[in-house]
Structure 1
Amino acid sequence: MQRARAVMRNDNLIIHLDEPLNQDHLETVAGSTDQFYIDFEVADTRKARVQQRRLFFALLHDIEVWSFTPKDYLKEIFYTQYEIYTAGKEISLADSTKSSVSDANTLLDLVIDFMFEWRVPFKKGYELLPRDQRYFLYQCCRHRVCTICSKRADIHHIDVVGRTNRNKVDHTKRHVMALCREHHIEIETINAVNFAKKYHVPVTGIKLKLEDLKELGIKGKYEDEKVEQ
């Protein structure tokens, strides 16, 4: 993970790298240095929130119940994992913390990843999860977990496909959300706008990248093998 600073000038985003780009590594990973895609995150430098601390320990409680592992031990494991992930950066969620909202979000993402990957039941922490964040919606789709209740889910199209042959639908242009059968019926009954207000989720859901669609086994028409951004 390479760090950089970004500056907005008119409609252009100019990125200044903290260190020179490794051209050989980039060519190995991306196959070319002429054109490639990057992911970037706008850092929220505000002090980590009490709500983030509550969510972190609620999720640790869920893992503790599932694994019979003491919460304090789990905390140290994820703090260490955060340090490894950030190349040595320390984190704290104490009242006196100097960690930022973005730092805490990175820690929470590591915990949520673990829970999805190992199918840890979301119980105490589920009501506190940030369902309006794209990352969480993506993980629900990836692991077929209902965005609303954590039950087994299917991929629901927010912009309804209707009776169209799904194999001929270009899914890269459609908005989706992982929903169980019960909530799938509900969103179609009360419509997406009312559903979004009731459960505090984005009315548009998310768009999945081509590789995610293929990994999920969603059949469809993938024009030019490209995803609209």
Structure 2
Amino acid sequence: MQLLRTRLIEKDGKWYQVQELNEKPNLDHIETVSGSIDEYYTYSELADTRKARPQQRRLFFALLNDIVDEFIVPQDFLKAMFYLQYQIYTDGKQISLSNGTQSTVSDANKLLDLVIDFMFEWHVPFKKGYELLPRDQEYYLFECCRHRVCMICGNKADIHHVDVIGAGMNRAHVDHTKRHVMALCRKHHGEIEQIGQQDFSAKYHVPVDGIKLDVETLRKIGVQGNYGKTTN
């Protein structure tokens, strides 16, 4: 995984991305995968190249403390484990959250995503790190939905539809991939319905736009709907 410098070019009302590669690509591999060396698809995301923030460091160690409390393991062991996991995930890239680090905000976010994912998978309660969690981060909202954990309090959650489904409409006949959802427990689900989205957002300092989920995720969390012939 390498960081590519990208330039945006506008031509005839259309926008194009031009990426500068620091080494010659494997043309044989490209042709094998795409059938052509002139046109192929890649995945890209906007990288935040600012240096990793102190807030990210505080969140990382607060979450490690939550895991320490749950499993009674040394913090240094967990730090080394997640650093190694990050290195494997990024094909050998090193990371550091120390003062003077060369790691970026995007690098630190990838590391935090690995820790948050671990905590959801192993049902580790968010305690010390809960108030520091970036609830506006799409990955966190996705994980809350995927594991049916309330984004406000961490308790067992229902899937709340931001795009209201009309009364009398059969939810099993709805394509939920086209609707925005949030994970909220019964208490907070009822509260957002009672006080409205804007007051709810202001009270808990969370976004209320929701996110869209793919078919596989919706099926795994038991949301039945009309998904055509798409299979897992």
- Superposition TM-score, scaled by structure 1 size: 0.87
1:122 CA displacement: 0.8
Aligned length: 221
> What does residue 97 of structure 1 align with?
101
Structure 1, residues 105-147: CA drift from partner, whole Å, max 9, x if none?
A: 0110110111111111111111111110111100110011111
User: Structure 2 length normalisation: TM-score?
Assistant: 0.86
Which residue does 1:166 correspond to in 2?
171
- Matched to 1:184, the amino acid is H
Q: Give % identity.
A: 59
| AA at the equivalent of 1:192 | Q
Change (3 A) 1:66 1:8: same
Letter in 2 for 1:7: R
Closer/same/farther in 2, CA of residues 135 and 37 from structure 1, 3 Å limit: farther
Q: Which residue pairs with 2:7 in the alignment?
A: 7
Structure 1 residue 168 displacement after superposition: 1.7
| Cα contact 1:142–1:212 (8 A) shared by 2 | yes
Please state how far the C-alpha of 1:37 moved relative to its aligned partner.
7.1
Structure 1 equivalent of residue 135 of structure 2: 131
Q: 1:95 to 1:180 in 2, by over 3 A?
A: same
**Cα 1:25–1:132, aligned 2, differ >3 Å: closer, same or farther?**
farther
Matched ranges for 1:204-215 at <5 A: 204-215=209-220
Q: Which has the larger radius of gyration?
A: 2
Q: Which whole-Å CA distance do the structure 2 matches of 1:154 and 1:26 have between them?
A: 41
Query: What is the RMSD of the two structures over their aligned residues, measured on CA atoms?
Result: 2.5
Deviation at 1:207, TM superposition (A): 0.8
3-state SS of 1:184 partner:
helix
1:118 paired residue number: 122
Read off the aligned partner of 1:135 and give its amino acid letter: Y
Deviations 1:137-195 (A, max 9, x none): 00110011111111011111012214221112221111100010011001101111221
1:186 paired to 2:191? yes
Q: Unaligned 5+ residue runs, structure 1? A: none
